[in-house]
Structure 1
Amino acid sequence: MTDSDLTELFAATGVPAAFAARAAARLGAGAAGRLRDDPWRLLRVPGVRPQQADHFARQVLGDAATPDDPRRGRALVEHLLTEAARQGHTVTPAAEVESALGGLRVPDARRAIDDALDEAEVVSLTEEPAFDEAAFEVEEAEPPEPEETLGLARWALPEEAAAEGFQRLNATASPLLDDVALKEARAGLPEDRSLALTASLRMGVCVLRGTADDLAGTAFLLARAAAAHGLRAAVVTATERAAADLRRDGDVAVVGLHRLLEPVPDAAAAPGAVVFGRGEQRPFDLDLVVLPDAAGLDVELCAVLVEACADGTHLVLGGEPGALPSGGPGHVLGDLAVSETVPVVDLEPAPAADPLGTLTAAVRAGELVPVEAPGKEVVIVPAAGAGEAVHRAVQLVTDSIPRAFGIALDDVQVVAPAASGEAGTTALNAALKARVNPGPGAYGGFDPGDRVVVAAPLPQAAVGETGTVTGAAGGALQIAFAGGACDVPAALTGRLRHGWAVTVAQGRGTRRPAVVAVMSEDAGLSRPLVATAFGLARRHLSVVQAAGPALARAVRETGAPARRTRLAKLLVQ
């Protein structure tokens, strides 16, 4: 629910009513009063652009809203760094921020940056220049000056905490098995699995790289070897749905990371924050923690995870080579590998046993190739445009796949590269809801029977977790998740989206019996994104191909964009 003061303020200033719920969720109680004091705080609400915030400020302040207002400059600095964080960066050169502020008509960019630093939500960091051997060959050459970078404290500080945590785990680790026991555990294993077992049981932190199936199988191998010698081990997944799937395939403890961290209610927490019960004061009761799919960890969640590992705990992080980067800022696995401070073991891929594995392996290698699929494990569905793509996706979910393969609608997941666009998840969900569960959206836009996905962290569930709305009571939405039923208060329902279709980033880490991947030309396609989307299918993949030659070109030529991060440098300090 939104407070009446905020609704009245937005109505009086011409702000669309749809922003009220987002503003209340982002700014918390008393949002209207804070916006009257500083209208440029509206930029903290996702989706608000600088021009819109300026217009709002003029409506609130009248002639007192000027381009040189310190509140405006401060808010724009935070906005620029937030936009950079959405691209995965934890830091941005101060010179780039100053240049962008000039384009936004901020008269004194340096003053705006200093004002933002005074608020402590932005931090200034010094980046030492890379060593340039050639510079030393020039007489009297001036050494390059350190570069100032800026970052939001929310991301820059956890990145430092993650680095300190990795260093602590490496420094406090001792072998979990003696040489004799380790030799027995390694007996008969292929060389790569033997190396993975040795690294995980001897080193505080290690990284495994391989396919999803190879990583999951190796995670079970490590956990079983540890448990056979009385050690406490757990395999950890991104969501409870993924954990439930793995439990069916193995005989070791599997738990979702969110549940393992034990979220707790905290009235004093900042809006949007989730507080966990596990941490430095109450670490995991585990000797070995294995995350077979850790590529989705951003630096904030990584810092929480590492802090919850006690001194001496061994942490194993797995990821597919060239995996889709995390949805939040950071590049944890890549930075760990680049730092050369932890062992990195490449798992030899098992030969692709089915058309799905063959296609995904080819995409990962940079080729979009036709595959023989006598059992229709892979089906390409051409679509002339976005509208036809949406129509085809609905048809596949509601009719073709259940009828041809006996896969229930609840086990079919539609994925798309982005939420926006004519064939994005917003458009797909609107069409799917109209067909699968029509209704007025009586409870904050949702109806009983709607599938939902967590788009921003909830105390009740992790990002990417899907569930079904069962009802509403006392102003809360009742949802059945894989980990159990829970009530999501009205103030937090803005973090939910309809979930028949999810973005590839939201769907990662949770595989489904059937996946419908909707690919459109204007969707920011890349090799990691396509490989991740295709790899989510266990039994059947339908590719709704509305991208034309752009799909093959993206697989062949477009990798993940580089991210500006500090973790690798911090690890070697």
Structure 2
Amino acid sequence: MTDSTEPASSSPSSAERAARAAAAMRAAEAAAGALDGPRDEDPAPPPEPARGARDGLRALGELFAATGVPAPLAARAAARLGPDAADRLRADPWRLLAVPGVRPPQADHFARAVLGPDAGPGDVRRGRALVLHLLMEAARGGHTVTPAAEVVSALERARVPDPRRAVEAALEEAEVLSLTEEPEFGDDAFDEDAEPEEPEEMLGAARWALAEEAAAEGFQRLTLTAAPLLGDAAVKGLRDGLPEDRSLALTAALRTGVSVLRGAPDGVAAAVLGIAGAAAGEGLRTAVAAPTDRAAADLAAPEGVAVTSLHRLLEPRDDPAAAPGAVVYARGERSPLDLDLLFVTDAAALDVELCAVLAEACPDGAHLVLCAEPGAAPPAGPGRPLDDLEASETVPVVTLDAAPPAGPLDVLAEAVRGGDLAAVDAPGREVVIVPAADPGEAVHRAVQLVTDSIPRALGIPVEDVQVVAPAAGGPAGTGALNAALKARLNPGPGAFGGMDPGDRVVVAAPLPCAAVGETGAVTGGGPGGLDVEFPAGPAVVSPADASRLRHGWAVTVAQARGTRRPGVVAVMPPEGLSRPLVATAFGLARRHLSVVQAAGPALARAVREDGAAPRRTRLATLVTQ
């Protein structure tokens, strides 16, 4: 690399199994939206809500004013708890913990203001809410389950007099599930004198635990109902002339119900489109699903192959019965996809909930191919379905041979995936390192790159440049970056709930009209919502849904993944780095990558040591049962 400053939810069937069951619905409502986008970057206030919502928001505002809660929290609380949020909070003030960003001391203060002397540390409502809060905090770290002993210890530190009773209260409300983790067999498992290990009790928020079980059941069903999609002679004909790795990938896709395909993004895309086109040519109903509509548009669809976003393929729809913050998909067990073969790109980004929806939407006998880079970053939401599926050794895994690097960007990406932050020769300034001494300078450099250096020196227009950072919060996070970029690119008063026409926005939590990570441009707004031009066309984002949008000149790596851009500015602070995250960020660039290096030696160390935090999940075990 060259040092320079120039240029610088659930489908109908899974809802039946879980969220629409009365008890599980309470869990979903409590958890809804808790993982929707970065909580340390406050969303812009939504446009003026409809009348019913206005009444609820007014009641909530009055309650918060009387209890000393900051007024800006009202919109978030209403979005999470629904129009009757004020009544629900009066009955159980600790429900405030379901609102992202609220901490236990704040909920305790609110409870004392609402209940007076009746609000004590032993209140069963407090203990129940703390159990779910602890599990949701664990889910933010990617865990779908947590040892019960850890939860009990945390409750003791929170001065809950009877932690076991608090756990039982959460279990009684079905907001939490108790799950038994059987011990693994070790070398001494058959020693006659060895004491058998006791099964470990695990706790999981119902929303994620049930989704993980549904995903496992879906994978098992697809494996058991699969039959070869084509006869041996046809498969042999399609394999003729293919290199061995592509031949193996084609065979796995056509002969097994679920398979995994790993490789560099360009290699995977070429293999997928080639196999999909060949399958369609044999009369198979075939589709390729990308993370976003923008990513799908970058794929050249072979004749007879549907190429779209996974979100759009599953047909999201509005459902008044859905929990706040949830998206319901029309495709599911009762209305499966009309497909024989489905490829999903960047499948490492699927959390357990979306993975469950996907598996249930595939009909019996369909073949599902999940594609990703080796060592890809885990999903932003809980779980690690693709890695767990591979670890279960129940499905074939094909890794494409590495092609010779096509240029400096490929050289760098391959080196990072291998654990080396290598210097690369970039005569065409495909890769540029921009040092920054502190977060403030990092933000300044990023703005300079986007608005001046890259368009002027490389001819890449501003609209084709995407800034990415590890997280939303912090002095060099996407919140600070977007504030600086808006001030330079589209200053304005925030006329429509903090947004102005011309603002770039990103979907931070799924919308009926767009997937997480989709970017668009605000064209207007009013009482009916925000007018946004997305890659698939114009849409009106309702006032209730507008809080799921963020300014999108800068996005988190988790939001950006799977959608490549001609130019990328990767801002690297010292916090939150890991090899998978860095590899994902650097791999987003098609023509040019500027790395704003504000991490010092922490960047090379993160790449060398991996740094990805482990996740506690159950899918690998569930698939084998």
**Does the alignment reach a TM-score above 0.5?**
yes
Over 3 Å counting, the alpha-carbon distance change for 1:204 and 1:136 in structure 2 is same
Aligned equivalent of 1:329: 382
What amino acid maps onto 1:199 in structure 2? A
1:34 aligns with 2:88: yes
Distance (whole Å) between structure 1 residues aligned to residue 434 and residue 186 of structure 2:
52
CA distance in 1, matches of 2:516, 2:460: 25
Is 1:119 the counterpart of 2:187 in the alignment?
A: no
Q: 1:253 deviation in Å? A: 2.4
Query: How far apart in 1 are the matches of 2:586 and 2:564?
Result: 10
TM-score by length of 1: 0.98
8 A Cα contact 1:433 1:450, kept in partner:
yes
CA drift at 1:252? 3.8
Q: 1:500 aligns with which of 553, 556, 565?
A: 553
Specify the alignment match of 1:566 in structure 2: 618
Displacement after TM superposition at 1:14 (Å) = 1.6
Q: Secondary structure at the match of 2:505?
A: strand
Partner of 1:200 in structure 2? 253
Amino acid at match of 1:565: T
8 A Cα contact 1:215 1:293, kept in partner: no
Comparing 100-109 with 17-26, greater Cα deviation is found at 17-26
Query: 1:3-152 alignment to 2 at 5 Å?
Result: 3-139=57-193, 141-152=194-205
In structure 2, give the amino acid aligned to 1:480: E
- Match of residue 553 from structure 1: 605
| Distance across 2 between alignment mates of 1:15 and 1:214 | 53
CA contact (8 A) 1:359 1:369 kept: yes
- Indicate the residue corresponding to 2:586 in structure 1: 534
Q: What is the one-letter code of the residue matched to 1:541?
A: L
**Unaligned 5+ runs, structure 1:** none
**1:142 CA displacement:** 2.7
Q: State the Cα distance separating 1:558 from its structure 2 match.
A: 2.8
Check whether the contact 2:273–2:302 (CA below 8 A) recurs between aligned residues. no
What are the superposed Cα offsets for residues 378-402 of structure 1, whole Å, 9 maximum, x if unpaired? 0101111100000000011011111
Return the letter of the residue paired with 2:239. Answer: R
> Is residue 276–residue 302 contact of structure 2 (8 Å, CA) maintained in 1?
no
Deviations 1:147-182 (CA, angstroms, capped at 9, x unpaired):
110001110001101111001001111101100000
1:250 CA displacement: 8.8
1:446 offset after TM fit, Å? 0.9
Q: By how many angstroms is 1:248 displaced?
A: 7.5
Question: 1:571 & 1:131 partners in 2: Cα distance?
Answer: 18
> How far has the Cα of 1:485 moved from its partner?
1.0
Matched AA of 2:592: H
Indicate how the Cα distance of structure 1 residues 312 and 251 shifts in structure 2: closer, same or farther if over 3 A, else same: closer
Write out aligned runs for 1:405-416 (5 A).
405-416=458-469
Which residues of 2 match residues 252-263 of structure 1 at below 5 A? Answer: 252-263=305-316
1:13 CA drift (Å): 1.5
- Secondary structure, aligned partner of 2:273: helix
The counterpart of 1:472, out of the listed 511, 519, 525, is 525
| Amino acid of the structure 2 residue aligned with 1:463 | V
Does the residue aligned with 1:351 lie in a helix, a strand or coil? coil
Instruction: Give the letter aligned to residue 31 of structure 1.
Output: A
1:359-408 CA distances to partner (integer Å, 9 max, x unpaired)? 01101100101100010000101111100000000011011111111111
SS of equivalent to 2:545: helix
Asked whether the 8 Å contact 2:131–2:167 carries over to 1, the reply is yes
Question: What amino acid does structure 2 have at the position aligned with 1:531?
Answer: A
Please identify, of 464-473 and 69-78, the stretch whose mean Cα deviation from structure 2 is larger. 464-473
Change (3 A) 1:372 1:248: farther
SS of equivalent to 2:298? helix
- What SS does structure 1 have at the residue aligned with 2:386? helix
User: Aligned to 1:123, what secondary structure does the other structure show?
Assistant: strand
Is the 8 Å Cα contact of residues 390 and 397 (structure 2) preserved in structure 1?
yes
Give the 3-state SS of the residue equivalent to 1:247 in structure 2. coil
Counterpart residue number, 2:14: none
Structure 2: gaps (5+ residues): 1-48
Equivalent residue number for residue 229 of structure 1:
282
Residues 222-242 of structure 1 deviation map (CA, whole Å, 9 limit, x = unaligned): 101111101110111011110
Taking the aligned partners of 1:7 and 1:361, their CA distance within structure 2 comes to: 53
Residue 425 of structure 1: how far off its partner (Å): 0.3
SS at match of 2:349: coil
Shift of 1:283: 0.6
Secondary structure, aligned partner of 2:614: coil
- Residues paired across the two proteins, number: 571
Per-residue deviation, 1:138: 4.2
Distance 2:73 2:565 in 1: 34
Q: TM-score, normalised by structure 2?
A: 0.90
Change in 2 beyond 3 A, CA 1:285/1:135: closer
Between 1:130-139 and 1:182-191, the stretch displaced more is 130-139
Alpha-carbon distance in 2 for matches of 1:475, 1:434: 26
Query: Kindly tell me: are residues 250 and 529 of structure 1, through their superposed partners in 2, closer, same or farther at Cα, counting changes over 3 Å?
Result: farther
Residue 482 of structure 2 corresponds to residue 433 of structure 1: no
RMSD (CA atoms):
1.2
Q: Which residue of 2 aligns with 1:294?
A: 347
- CA distance in 2 between counterparts of 1:542 and 1:338 reads 35
Q: Matched residue of 1:506: which SS?
A: helix
For residues 474 and 16 of structure 1, the distance between their equivalents in structure 2, rounded to whole angstroms, comes to 24
What do residues 58-113 of structure 1 show as CA deviations (whole Å, max 9, x unaligned)?
A: 11111111000000000000000000001000000101100111111111110000
Query: After the TM superposition, which parts of structure 1 deviate over 6 Å for at least 4 consecutive aligned residues?
Result: 248-251
- Give the conservation status (yes or no) of the 8 Å contact 1:85–1:329: yes
- The offset of 1:456, in angstroms, is 1.0
How far apart, CA to CA, are the structure 2 residues paired with 1:243 and 1:10?
Answer: 44
Q: Identity across aligned pairs (percent)? A: 71
Which amino acid is 1:196 matched to?
A
- Measured in 2, the distance between the counterparts of 1:135 and 1:538 equals 52
Q: Match of 2:467, SS?
A: strand
Residue from 224, 239, 244 that aligns with 2:297: 244
Structure 2 residue aligned with 1:167 = 220
Larger CA deviation: 273-282 vs 15-24: 15-24
The residue type paired with residue 534 of structure 1 is F
Distance (whole Å) between structure 1 residues aligned to residue 272 and residue 163 of structure 2: 50
1:368-387 paired onto structure 2 within 5 Å: 368-387=421-440
Please list the CA deviations of residues 432-478 of structure 1 after superposition, one character each: whole Å capped at 9, or x if unmatched.
Answer: 01111111112111111111111111111111111111111333111
Q: Output the CA distance in 1 between the equivalents of 2:401 and 2:356.
A: 30
**Any conservation in 1 of the 2:516–2:559 contact (CA below 8 Å)?**
yes
The structural deviation recorded for 1:249 is 9.2
CA distance in 1, matches of 2:600, 2:195: 52
Judge conservation of contact 1:416–1:504 (CA < 8 Å) in 2: yes
Between the aligned partners of 2:374 and 2:281, the Cα distance in structure 1 is 30
Distance 1:157 1:300 in 2: 9
